[in-house]
Amino acid sequence: MAEEEEKKYSKDLIGRTVISKQGKKYGTLGDIVFETRSGELIHMVLDSPTAYTEKLELEKDKNSKRLIPFSAVIAIGDFIVVSEEDII
C-alpha cells in the first residue's frame, strides 16, 4: 500500500522562505496567484524580497510585488525551493 502524499494548503505556505536549489534566498511567500476556472497555480508573490532578488528582472504585479512562476517550484517543505534556471 503506497503512502498517501501529505496535502499542502496555501494558508500553510504563506510566510515560508523561498530559496533556489543553490541556496540563494529570494524572500518569503506572500500570496499565490491562480487561474480561477482551472485552479492552475500561476505565480508566487514575494514579500520581503532580498537584495539579490531586487537585482533580478522578475515580473511584477500591479502593486510592484515580484512574481515567481509556480512552474519553477521543485520542492515544498520547511522552505519553498525553486529552480533559478526557470525564473531568469
- For each of the domains in the chain, give its residue range(s) and CATH number, in order of start: 10-86 (2.30.30.240)
Q: What's the predicted TM-score (pTM) here?
A: 0.83
* Strand-pair category, 25-34 with 17-20: antiparallel
User: Pseudo-torsion of CA 46, 48, 51, 57, nearest 10°?
Assistant: 20
CA 64, CA 46: separation in Å to the nearest integer? 10
Residues 16-52: pLDDT tens digits?
999 999 999 999 999 999 998 998 899 999 999 999 9
Which 8-state DSSP code applies to residue 13? H
Residue 10 has what pLDDT? 76
SS3 assignment, position 70? helix
CA 51, CA 63: separation in Å to the nearest integer? 18
Q: Which long-range contacts (CB under 8 A, 24 or more apart) does 5-9 make?
A: 8/76
Residue 42 has what pLDDT? 92
Residue 1 has what pLDDT? 43
